[in-house]
Amino acid sequence: MNPDKITQKALKKHKFTPDEMEAVVQALNVLCPSMENEAHLTTLGRWVANKDLVRMVNNYVQVHKSHSRLEVSNRSEVQSPMFIIGMPRTGSSLLHNLLAVDRRWRAPVYWETLYPCPPCPPDKPDKARLLAARADFSLFKMLAPGYRKIYMYGSRQAAECIAIMAMACMSPRFTFTYHIPTYQEWLSRQGMDKGYQFHRVFLQLLQSESPGREWLLKAPAHLLHLDAMLRVYPNCRVIFNHRHPTEVIPSIASNTWHLRSAFSRNVSKIQTGQEELNRWKQGWNVASALRGSTSLPIEQFIDLPYHQFMNDPLRAVESIYEHFNMELTQETRQCMIQFLSANRPNKFGRHAYTSEEFGLNPGILQEQFKDYIHMFDLSPSTA
């Protein structure tokens, strides 16, 4: 993967100055060698990765160009978006898609993150781009046939924010999909402000076609860069999902291993387990410092334990609406009941894994996250 060739392909279609591409070029100059030298990509994996990077950089340019052409009156600020964050494997995808049935919300969907320009009203997608996104997901399903047991995805499903920031080539999406420690370490040093700034530009562009609706956004990886998220969106509202780490870390390790195995050879389960342990311990350290800050209003956050949500999703939704002083209409409630009926747990099969296969000792996990467990009074589902 050649960073220069990737950017040249995007710039052939759009006039863009070198200065406007500086941040992306800087990221690609780290990302591409890291993928080539560390990810152990298969031949097909290298082809898919290169194709994805060309598409992402092309989207980055298109989004900026389309945004610059917006009338000033249509380039409105993103007001108090709602973010779903927290440890992974905490029901956040289900919650994201469940809340999104409420017409008050505008959640970006996956086909828009794959083919965003020109923006469309959310209920009137571009048919050609929707079909292209479906084809992309069909290919992924062939590469990772069991992944639907683990993660909710689809062309019209609510999308994670890391898919948006990936267009700027600054996103944890890459570090989940590939073992690329050099890029991961660079991203940690670099910070994610530029990724979130592009995220805001993307939302402004999309909301030009759907004014008056509030943004509903989600990614567990926001926990890793919560400081940057709050700098770019200081007035955001946050749903913070929680689950016991002895359940979270093995589950996300299995998730990451399955994802990487679709594109890479020689993916180590033990290495993946240790990487996820380190990643989310670091994420909690970032979040813990911010949650302890007196400068953050208490009412900006609501904490949602996993088992509370899974045992009674509607009551959990009610608590969210009550906390943020929002109305949950009877019509929306019925739509949510229908959604839950159609999307029961393990719809595509049970996600099976063990802590041992990823080298994760429950006692060590308990010790590593003891402050987190104590703060939110977390208990595992099985003793």
Closest CA to 173 of 344, 14, 51, 31: 31
On the question of a cis peptide bond just before residue 313, with omega within 30 degrees of 0, the verdict is no
State the pLDDT at residue 381: 75
Nearby residues of 365 by Cβ (< 8 Å), 6 or more positions away: 245, 246, 249, 277, 355
- 52 occurs within a structural domain: yes
- 201 occurs within a structural domain: yes
Q: What is the CATH number of the domain that holds 20?
A: 3.40.50.300
Owning domain of residue 62: 3-70+80-375
Q: Which amino acid is at 79?
A: Q
pLDDT in tens, 160-193: 999 999 999 999 999 999 999 999 999 999 889 9
- 61 occurs within a structural domain: yes
- 381 occurs within a structural domain: no
- 382 occurs within a structural domain: no
- 258 occurs within a structural domain: yes
State the pLDDT at residue 365: 96
State the pLDDT at residue 269: 97
pLDDT in tens, 130-171: 999 999 999 888 888 888 788 877 888 999 999 999 999 999
- 383 occurs within a structural domain: no
State the pLDDT at residue 292: 75
In order along the chain (383 residues), what is the average pLDDT of each group of 10 residues?
A: 66 59 89 95 94 93 87 74 95 95 94 93 88 92 84 86 96 96 94 93 90 92 94 95 96 95 94 97 91 77 95 96 96 96 81 92 95 92 54
State the pLDDT at residue 155: 86
Q: Which amino acid is at 19?
A: D
Cα dihedral 105, 110, 111, 117 in deg (nearest 10):
70
Domain count, the chain: 1
Q: State the residue for tokens 């050099």.
A: 182
- 309 occurs within a structural domain: yes
